[in-house]
Structure 1
Amino acid sequence: MKQTFTNISVNGEPISPELIATEAQNHPAPKGKPGMAWMAAARALAVRTMILQEAQRRGIVAAPMELAPGLWETEDEAVIRQILDEAVEAEPPTQQEVRAAYESNPERHRAPALYEAAHILFAARPDDVVARKVAKDQANAVLAKIKLEPKAFDALARDHSACSSRANGGRLGQISAGDTVAEFEAALDMLAQGEIAPEPVESRYGFHIIRLDARADGEILPFEAVETALRSALEKAAWVRASRAFVDKLAEQAEVTGITLKKAA
Structure 2
Amino acid sequence: MTMPLVNRVIIPEEQINRESGEIEHGSIEEKRAEAARRLAIRELLRQRAKTIGIETRDRLDEAIDELLDREVPTPDADEQACRRYFEANRDRFRSPEEIELRHILLAAAPDDAQGRTAMRDTAEELVATLKEVPERFDDLAAAHSRCPSAEDGGHLGVISRGDTVPELENVVMRLPVGLAERPVETRYGFHVVEILTRAGGAPLDYDHVQHLIAEYLRERSWRRAISHYLQVLVAEADIRGIDLEATESPLMQ
TM-score (norm 1): 0.69
Structure 1's 164 and 24: CA in aligned 2 closer, same or farther, altered over 3 A? closer
The alignment-based identity, stated in percent, is 30
Counterpart for residue 163 of structure 1:
148
Q: Matched residue of 2:104: which SS? A: strand
Does 2:204 align with 1:210?
no
Residue identity matched to 2:66: Q
Residue identity matched to 1:180: T
Q: Matched residue of 2:179: which SS? A: coil
CA–CA distance in structure 2, aligned partners of residues 142 and 114 of structure 1:
25
CA–CA distance in structure 2, aligned partners of residues 261 and 200 of structure 1:
43
Matches within 5 A, 1:1-265: 3=1, 6=2, 8-16=4-12, 19-20=15-16, 23=19, 26=23, 34=29, 40-62=34-56, 75-121=59-105, 141=122, 144-150=125-131, 151=133, 152-161=136-145, 162-164=147-149, 166-167=151-152, 169-172=153-156, 174-189=158-173, 191-196=175-180, 198-199=182-183, 201-202=185-186, 208-215=191-198, 218-261=201-244
- Is the CA contact 2:168–2:184 (under 8 Å) kept in the aligned structure 1? no
Counterpart for residue 250 of structure 2:
none
- Is the CA contact 1:187–1:201 (under 8 Å) kept in the aligned structure 2? no
Q: Matched residue of 1:61: which SS? A: coil
CA RMSD in angstroms, aligned pairs only = 3.9
CA–CA distance in structure 2, aligned partners of residues 27 and 194 of structure 1:
40
- Is the CA contact 1:251–1:262 (under 8 Å) kept in the aligned structure 2? yes
- Is the CA contact 1:10–1:254 (under 8 Å) kept in the aligned structure 2? yes
- Cα shift at 1:97: 0.6
Counterpart for residue 249 of structure 2:
none
Structure 1's 98 and 146: CA in aligned 2 closer, same or farther, altered over 3 A? closer
CA–CA distance in structure 1, aligned partners of residues 104 and 140 of structure 2:
8
CA–CA distance in structure 1, aligned partners of residues 244 and 65 of structure 2:
21
CA–CA distance in structure 1, aligned partners of residues 149 and 25 of structure 2:
40
Structure 1's 262 and 135: CA in aligned 2 closer, same or farther, altered over 3 A? closer
Cα distance per residue 1:157-207 (max 9 Å; x no partner): 24444434743x334455433343323212214544433363353356x75
- Is the CA contact 2:106–2:123 (under 8 Å) kept in the aligned structure 1? no
Residue identity matched to 2:47: Q
Cα distance per residue 1:107-160 (max 9 Å; x no partner): 111223333422124679x99x89xx9899668546524423432323212444
Cα distance per residue 1:200-229 (max 9 Å; x no partner): 53356x753212345457122111111111
Residue identity matched to 2:219: K
Cα distance per residue 1:12-39 (max 9 Å; x no partner): 212346655665663856x8x95x6665
Q: Matched residue of 1:79: which SS? A: helix
Structure 1's 215 and 246: CA in aligned 2 closer, same or farther, altered over 3 A? same
Q: Where does the alignment leave 5 or more consecutive residues of structure 2 unmatched?
A: 247-253
Q: Where does the alignment leave 5 or more consecutive residues of structure 1 unmatched?
A: 64-73
Residue identity matched to 1:52: R
Residue identity matched to 2:90: P
